[in-house]
Amino acid sequence: MILFEEFGFTHTGHVAIEVSDVLVTSNRARPDPSRLGFFLLSEESLIQVLLELQQTPNFCVLDSVNIKKLFDFRYLSPPPQTYFNQSYPVNLPNEYSLFFANCAPESLVTMNVKTEVYNLDPNNAKDYLSAGQTQLPSLYFVFSLVYFVFLGFWVYNCLQNKRSVHRIHALMGCLLLMKALNLICAAEDKHFVKVTGTPHGWDVLFYIFQFIRVVLLFTVIVLIGTGWSFLKPFLQEKEKKVLMIVVPLQVLANVASVVIGETGPFIKDWVTWNQVFLLVDIICCCAIIFPIVWSIRSLRETSKTDGKAARNLAKLTLFRQFYIVVIGYLYFTRIVVFALRTIASYKYQWVSNAAEEAASLMFYLVIFYMFRPVERNEYFVLDEEEEEAAEAALRDEEFEL
């Protein structure tokens, strides 16, 4: 069995299959053509089919009553015919998987296959996006506009507080720009898939901006976590090593992302690439936490000796909040979004994308507000009571992570 595609159909769904250059070879006599064919399988019927396969020896899935059989190779008879092209309506709305099954023993099938899965919109135009994803072009476009406005406010704030702007603020501005461009390309990519079935080159721009955006995001989190530009103008050796690990891993993760997005479950190593992407993402998420913890420990040690209790308490509080925000962001976008994707009906798959983008926007807003450039008042002096209260808070061991 080979899985070609998963797709959410409405009551106007269609599947078109074009098969050409078919060659069937076998070590036995000529295979039974009814043992080779394409079918649709809903998620609800999958368990029933698996039970049938387990309970009945040599059971052919094409004989199951739980599948929607499209066509078998009897339609290619007489033998010289090696071409077939047919469209099938899907009358029962659901999420289906399109499979090819070969139940002929010791036989090998070689063929070129082109499949089209789509729904018809109210104007009878083909919509090549799944029923749960057809809202994605508009969703991504709206979020891209929000990020462009966000970038404008950030540039304005930096210009208003020029004396407090550090190099990290320029990097943060670049991150906002890449995020906005990534989303606008994602919107165009999905729009062209929706209308034509292919992305027409927008996928290339999408992957480029996604790569730059993800690398910049992890780099900014590591640099803020190490206190670069805020606490010190340099990186220590162990902090450089974290960056040297995270950036190449993100390159690998993006290669995996391209392979996953541009191919499908029918290729041999598709599952492996999914596992690589997941593993690399987990390693990177763990790695970026260490610099934040190091900075908090360093600040605690410094606070015991330099006599600037109030300032150190403020920095400690800021970095502790940063730690909590990063952990919350990673937890939500990796676990909660995955859970939403799993439990939501196929018609509401876009909700998980909306939740992920909303969480990302909140994360950006909080981090950019926490580490925004602010003019310091050089004449501000703390009174003794405030300084003593800060010292007492620093001595409190409960402040530890």
Cα distance between residue 309 and residue 236, in whole Å: 24
Lowest mean pLDDT among 78-87, 179-188, 191-200, 351-360: 78-87
**86-95 b/e (C-beta count within 10 Å ≥ 16 → b):** eebebeebbb
Q: What is the pLDDT of residues 275-298, one digit of tens each?
A: 888 889 889 888 888 888 888 787
Average of per-residue pLDDT across 131-141: 95
Give ranges for CATH 1.20.1070.10 in the chain: 136-399
CB-based contact 364:179 (threshold 8 Å) = yes
How far out from the chain centre does Cα 67 lie?
31
Integer distance in angstroms from the first to the last C-alpha of the chain?
Answer: 51
The pLDDT tens digits for 371-388 are 888 765 433 344 455 555
Q: How far is CA 395 from CA 180, 303, 320, 390, in A?
A: 44, 9, 16, 9
pLDDT the model gives residue 378: 39
Taking the C-alpha atoms of residue 33 and residue 18, their distance in angstroms, rounded to an integer, is: 17
**Burial of 52 per CB tally in 10 Å (0-12, 13-18, 19+):** middle
Statement: 136-399 belongs to CATH 1.20.1070.10: yes
Mean pLDDT for the stretch of residues 118-146: 95
Which of 161-170, 238-247, 378-387 shows the lowest mean pLDDT across its residues? 378-387
d(CA 399, CA 299): 12
Tell me: pLDDT of 76 over 70. yes
pLDDT of residue 306: 54
**Mean pLDDT of all residues belonging to the chain:** 86
| Fold entry, domain 2-127 | Jelly Rolls (2.60.120)
Average pLDDT rounded to a whole number, residues 304-316: 64
Specify the length of the chain in residues: 401
Residue 77 per-residue DSSP state: -
Q: At residue 69, does pLDDT exceed 50?
A: yes
Calculate the alpha carbon distances from 36 to 21, 271, 342 in Å. 15, 24, 32
Each residue's pLDDT tens digit, 250-283: 888 888 888 888 888 888 888 888 888 888 988 9
> Tell me: the pLDDT tens digits for 41-52?
998 898 899 898
Instruction: Grade residue 395 by pLDDT with cuts at 50, 70 and 90.
Output: low
pLDDT tens digits, one per residue of 96-117: 999 999 998 889 999 999 999 9
